[in-house]
Amino acid sequence: MIGSIYGLIAMGYSLIYSASGLLSFTQGELLMFGAFLGLTFYKYANLPFVISITLTIAIMFMVGVFIESFIIRKLVKAKANLIFIVLATIALSIVLKNFAMLVWGSNVFQFPQIFKTGFVKIGDVNVDPTSIMAIVIAFIAMLILHFFMNKTRFGTSMRAAAQNPLAAKTMAINVSRTTYVTWGLASALAGIAGFLIGPVYGVHLEMGTMIGLKGFAAAVIGGYGNMYGAIIGSFIIGLVETFTAAYISSIYKDVISFLVLIAFLILKPRGIFNSKVYDEE
């Protein structure tokens, strides 16, 4: 379950990275934002589930587009050092978090139960239906993204623009549009993740930070910028956490994930699928 959430986040990172070579630290806070939006639509506005999630996705998409066109694009145009763009996204995540605090306050909110029954039986194990739904929806989202990227004209042009923006431009691909669509998609993915995780863990301000970092770790482990690697990395991180929590102590599950990340960064920084990480290349 948690693995699929990381997967959604990690795919967002990879999307942005492969599309623009940039790195965004905002995914975690976007997840939190998405969760709050979902909560607002579903609980307070009493909208049906499907409409709530669609609205959340739509708004999150716009948020992503907004971030790209009003902040990132400015910096890229000014030929800012890459690290400044990273810093901008960090700053943005702080602003987002505090903005959410302004709007929703700093309490932990319970997401209302989506299903009537408390659990379903699979074999001998009781499983929370919300978790199953989360996994299913995450899986569907990944599939849709896969088809979007590979089978549609727009997806192809996105990949082309990522590989060689100049060549893409000469092929009359609207590079600026593909870039903001990428950011929009990444943001929407985070929003979905937030919406899915809300009912399970509750909705609060800090919910995104750790997940954001873990998603990042997952993306690194999979090979940064590789969508499929990101998914595999996510399941690795998810498994590591679950096992640590089960057999060692839940206190250390975060420490262990970070250690795994550091180990990967040191020993195999290119991840399972190779990507460029050293600055001397």
Partner 1 sequence: MIQKKMKYIIVTVFLLALPLVFIGNSYFLLLLCTGMIYVIAVSGLDLLFGYSGQISLGHAGFFAIGAYTSAILSIKLGIPVVFSMLFAAGLATMFAVLIALPAARLVHHFLALITISFGEIVYLFVSHADPLTNGFSGIGFIPSPSLGFFVFDTNMKYYYFLLVIVAVLLMFKNRIIKSRTGRAIIAVRENIYASDGIGVNVKNYKILSFALSSFYTGLAGALYAHLIGFISPESFTLNQSIIFLTMLLLGGMGNFYGPIIGALVLTLGTEYLQVLGNYQMLVYGTILLLIVVFIPSGLIHVVNLRNLRKILHKRTTAEENDDNA
> Binding of partner 1 at residue 259 (CB under 8 A)?
yes
CB under 8 A: which stretch of 125-133, 145-153, 169-177, 214-222 binds partner 1?
Answer: 214-222
CA distance 179 to 184: 9
**Distance of alpha carbon 13 from its chain centroid, rounded?**
6
Q: Which of residues 147-186 bind partner 1 (CB under 8 A)?
A: none
3-state SS of 80-127 is CCHHHHHHHHHHHHHHHHHHHHHHHCCCCECCCCCCCCCCEEECCEEE
Nearer residue to partner 1 within complex by CB, 56 or 257:
257
CB under 8 A: which stretch of 72-80, 114-122, 129-137, 151-159 binds partner 1?
Answer: 72-80
> Binding of partner 1 at residue 200 (CB under 8 A)?
no
Backbone dihedral region for residue 160 (phi beyond 0: left; psi -120 to 50: alpha; all else: beta): alpha
- Candidates 36, 111, 183, 216; binder of partner 1 (CB under 8 A) is 216
> Binding of partner 1 at residue 124 (CB under 8 A)?
no
Closest approach of Cβ 48 to partner 1, in Å? 34
Closest approach of Cβ 192 to partner 1, in Å? 24
- Candidates 49, 84, 147, 243; binder of partner 1 (CB under 8 A) is 84
Interaction mask 21-60, partner 1, x per CB under 8 A: --x-x-----------------------------------
CB hemisphere CA count around 55 (13 angstroms):
16
**Distance of alpha carbon 228 from its chain centroid, rounded?**
14
> Binding of partner 1 at residue 74 (CB under 8 A)?
yes
CB hemisphere CA count around 102 (13 angstroms):
6
- Candidates 71, 114, 133, 137; binder of partner 1 (CB under 8 A) is 71
Nearer residue to partner 1 within complex by CB, 185 or 205:
205
Work out the angle at residue 60's Cα, subtended by the Cα atoms of residues 166 and 106, and round it to the nearest 5 degrees.
135
CB hemisphere CA count around 96 (13 angstroms):
30
> Binding of partner 1 at residue 88 (CB under 8 A)?
yes
**Distance of alpha carbon 125 from its chain centroid, rounded?**
29
CB 101 within 8 A of CB 108: no
Q: Which residues bind partner 1 (CB under 8 A)?
A: 23, 25, 71, 74-75, 80-84, 86-88, 90-95, 97-99, 101-102, 106, 209, 213, 216-217, 220, 224, 251-252, 254-255, 258-259, 261-262, 265-266, 269, 276-280
